[in-house]
């Protein structure tokens, strides 16, 4: 009897953290379906894999996941080709940066569609199959920005707050069902990829800070380990975790103080 081929679907899998996920999955014997919008990125990734992992089983699929209906189109592609997805890496996304009124609405609507609608729809489509066979894992790339208000990245942080809360909540529902399926939410700190260039953040020194930012291979490795263990959340980097805990404590304190100043729960 031939051995069953394990399939992994990685959105945004041709560069950055997604590329590192693809490498880890290939080394673990998965057939990897790499999905990305830029054709030049896919070709660059293909050249890298041909050189370094020539025996890898990879399908390169060029698609813009930021347009309406993209998730269903991708699901149809995998279904029609007989690819049963064992691991879904919901990683594609981008950010906008700047004063909210200066950012083109069309750009942010595209971001919301990718970071929220596509993430949600892909999760729903593949989760249904996974639950039916009681097997499978999903990783959702959120952000540390999901956990704190982020001026100059207001809409981006809001989209990541959705993916964070959605992934965590549905994972809890899966536990209640005693399902073997799990969802892991990745909250990476600032990561040295092309992310900052796409977002227009090249001038920020944050990505040059060795304590505050990480390399994509480090982030992907920590996230992949958490995914395989079925952990609900992972924040790669000790300093990032400590910093976020401090921010969250301060935020809660400010909320409580504000409520108290408004009178009894703000009600008149």
Q: Give all domains of the chain, ordered by start, each with its CATH number.
A: 7-236 (3.40.50.720)
Output the pTM of the full model: 0.82
- pLDDT tens, position by position, 144-175: 888 877 788 889 999 999 999 999 999 999 99
In the predicted model, is pLDDT for residue 208 greater than 70?
no
For residues 227-232, average pLDDT = 96
In the predicted model, is pLDDT for residue 93 greater than 60?
yes
Where is pLDDT greater, at 72 or 218? 72
Predicted confidence band of residue 263 (pLDDT cuts 50, 70, 90) = very low
Predicted confidence band of residue 62 (pLDDT cuts 50, 70, 90) = very high
User: What does the pLDDT read at residue 243?
Assistant: 56
Q: Phi and psi of 5, rounded to 5°?
A: -80, 130
Where is pLDDT greater, at 210 or 156? 156
Chain-wide mean pLDDT for the chain? 85
For residues 86-97, average pLDDT = 93
User: What does the pLDDT read at residue 245?
Assistant: 59
> Is 89 within 8 Å of 139 (Cβ atoms)?
yes
Q: Phi and psi of 6, rounded to 5°?
A: -90, 130
In the predicted model, is pLDDT for residue 259 greater than 50?
no
Predicted confidence band of residue 266 (pLDDT cuts 50, 70, 90) = very low
- Name the percent of the chain lying above pLDDT 90: 66
């Amino acid at each position: 009897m031939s051995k069953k081929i394990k399939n992994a679907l990685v959105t945004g899998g041709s560069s950055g953290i997604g590329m590192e996920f693809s490498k880890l999955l290939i080394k673990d014997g998965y057939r990897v379906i790499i999905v990305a919008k830029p054709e030049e990125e896919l070709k660059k990734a293909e050249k890298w894999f041909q050189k370094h992992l020539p025996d890898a089983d990879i399908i390169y699929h060029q698609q813009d996941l930021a347009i309406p209906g993209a998730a269903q189109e991708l699901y149809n592609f995998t279904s029609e080709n007989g690819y049963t997805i064992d691991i879904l890496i919901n990683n594609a996304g981008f950010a906008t940066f700047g004063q909210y009124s200066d950012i083109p609405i069309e750009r942010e609507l595209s971001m919301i569609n990718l970071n929220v609608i596509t993430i949600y729809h892909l999760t729903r489509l593949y989760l249904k199959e996974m639950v039916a066979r009681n097997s499978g894992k999903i990783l959702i790339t959120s952000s540390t920005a999901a956990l704190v208000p982020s001026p100059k990245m207001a809409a981006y942080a809001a989209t990541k707050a959705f993916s964070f809360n959605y992934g965590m909540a549905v994972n809890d529902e899966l536990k209640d069902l005693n399902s073997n399926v799990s969802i892991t939410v990745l909250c990476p700190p600032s990561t040295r990829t092309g992310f900052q260039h796409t977002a227009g953040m090249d001038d920020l020194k944050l990505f040059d800070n060795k304590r505050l930012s990480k390399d994509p291979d480090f982030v992907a490795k920590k996230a992949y380990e958490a995914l395989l263990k079925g952990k609900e959340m992972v924040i790669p980097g000790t300093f990032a975790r400590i910093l976020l805990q401090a921010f969250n404590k301060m935020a809660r304190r400010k909320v409580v103080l504000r409520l108290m100043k408004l009178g009894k729960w703000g009600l008149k």
